[in-house]
Structure 1
Amino acid sequence: MDWLQVIILAIVQGLTEFLPISSSAHLILVPVLTDWPDQGLAFDVALHLGSLAAVLIYFRADLINMTQSWVRSLTTRQLDADARLAWAVILGTIPVGLAGLAFKGTIETVLRSPVWIAVGLIGFGLLLGWADWRHKGEREVSEMRWKDVLLIGIAQAIALFPGTSRSGITMTAALMLGLSREAAARFSFLLSIPVIVLACGLEGKDLIQSGEPVNWTFMLAGILLSGVSAYLCIHYFLAFIKRIGMQPFVIYRVVLGLFLLWIFL
């Protein structure tokens, strides 16, 4: 690796982790266009840690309130809005955890090809566009029912199909269930926290077992750049989503998917 590769990959990961455009598609496209060597498992862990730090810092006040209310609910058995949201994030994470354990081998081998990623980009991108155009919901996160949470969690499990985009499919499901764009994005970002924690844990375990050498300078730079770009992405996406909608991302996904098909077919 060199510094240009570190900078580009970190920024790409930070931006695409939370935008509904599929980080897996971009992390495959970058080496195709640049002919760079694989960045290695250690750097992948660093990039995910940066994204995790960004979402934790951005939602720090919400997370503190949610954690306090969740702990209190364990003893009082009473749920205020913050406790309900904390339980919703936990419930919404269960389907993707089970699906990841059940289909990990298939996902990493059969479905990891650029063609399947292109199919996911186009197909689920069009579904996102339809959900945004057809369903003009106004419900807030606090108005979600447990059935809504479970359906969004099941949708998140579908994101294991490469090219789907975890943020994209969860926002799609939330929009179809009547949530506003801002509420759909906010819940999607909160749902990302346990998923990224699980991903970092699994990758970290593989890294320890592999004994791969670590370039700590590149690791720290990757964490910082990924974190800053992810934080800015979350901030501006939430600020402008009501005005710009999902259609620009849909167009981008379709164009990118067609480009991948043109290269690999």
Structure 2
Amino acid sequence: METLHIVLLALIQGITEFLPISSSGHLLLPKALLGWPDQGLAFDVAVHVGTLTAVVLYFRSSLWQMARDWSLQLVARAPATEDSRLAWLLILATLPAAVCGLLFDAVIEAHLRTTLVIALTTLIFGVALGWADWRGGRVRTLADITWKAALLIGLAQALALIPGTSRSGITITAALLLGFTRTDSARFSFLMSVPVIALSGGYKALQLVVQQEPAPWLELLLGAALAGGSAFVCVHYFMQYINRLGMLPFVVYRLLLGSVLLLVAF
């Protein structure tokens, strides 16, 4: 890959991975409009590692407390805490996407990774995000989350296997519809991304090992670093300004992006 391709694709992945605007829709544009070659499986693994590192670093304190309390409860029979309870709920919320990914990955890759599908899902779930932000009560916090709410958000996350849906977008939409605040909707969505990105990246890495593709390490390190750095900055500012901005800017942007993709599709 050319250096320009590496830089732009890594930045696109890092910036759009956690914003509710669909990373797959953006990654499709350079290929569709500029004729860029596919970035390849190794590059996908590298940018996944970068974005995973970013979200783990940003939420390192919360993740450490959850991992510690969950482990103590599981191994040492320590009393349950809010952090161990949240860890169990994150595991529950991850199961639908993990199961659906294993069952339907081949079908999705073969039939749904098209410009038309990505355009339609970008538009449809963009409208859904706006409606959820408008209608949601925005009063519940993570302290109020139940196993039913976590499971419903997890089921919504499974829909993000359809390209163009946006993992963060659909999970924030579900959380808003369930009455959670914007900040806690985003926080739970980002915490959910840790096991999902780890599973997805691990699965892609396994495919890479099986295919025995040659690894251009300098390109991969550059891609991982750029994706991780841009993702960290993106998460930081999104969490800082989400209450002030609301979801309308992202809804408008998705409608514009979806319209462009529809033009490309036809």
TM-score normalised to structure 2 length:
0.98
Give 3-state SS (helix, strand or coil) of 1:76's partner: coil
Counterparts of 2:106 and 2:3, CA distance in 1: 33
Counterparts of 2:39 and 2:105, CA distance in 1: 21
Provide Cα deviations, 1:145-185, integer angstroms capped at 9, x if missing partner: 11100100000001111110000000000000010000000
Counterparts of 1:116 and 1:227, CA distance in 2: 28
Counterparts of 2:191 and 2:149, CA distance in 1: 15
Counterparts of 1:24 and 1:142, CA distance in 2: 32
Provide Cα deviations, 1:92-114, integer angstroms capped at 9, x if missing partner: 00000111112112211111111
- 1:175 aligns with 176
- 1:98 aligns with 99
Provide Cα deviations, 1:43-74, integer angstroms capped at 9, x if missing partner: 11101000000001001111110011101121
Counterparts of 1:65 and 1:253, CA distance in 2: 35
- Name the amino acid aligned to 1:6: I
- 2:258 aligns with 257
Question: How much has 1:30 moved relative to structure 2?
Answer: 1.9
Counterparts of 1:82 and 1:89, CA distance in 2: 11
- 2:7 aligns with 7
CA contact (8 A) 2:119 2:262 kept: yes
- 1:16 aligns with 16
Question: How much has 1:78 moved relative to structure 2?
Answer: 2.9
Give 3-state SS (helix, strand or coil) of 2:222's partner: helix
Deviates more, 1:58-67 or 1:96-105: 96-105
CA contact (8 A) 2:32 2:264 kept: no
Give 3-state SS (helix, strand or coil) of 2:213's partner: coil
Question: How much has 1:35 moved relative to structure 2?
Answer: 1.4
- 1:120 aligns with 121
- 1:159 aligns with 160
- 1:223 aligns with 224
- Call closer, same or farther: CA 1:77–1:94 in 2, change over 3 Å: farther
Identity %: 51
Counterparts of 1:108 and 1:215, CA distance in 2: 25
- Structure 2: unaligned runs, 5 residues or longer: none
Counterparts of 1:34 and 1:44, CA distance in 2: 19
- Name the amino acid aligned to 1:123: I
TM-score normalised to structure 1 length:
0.98
- 1:198 aligns with 199
- 1:36 aligns with 36
Give 3-state SS (helix, strand or coil) of 1:172's partner: helix
- Name the amino acid aligned to 2:4: L
Counterparts of 2:137 and 2:248, CA distance in 1: 14
Give 3-state SS (helix, strand or coil) of 1:27's partner: helix
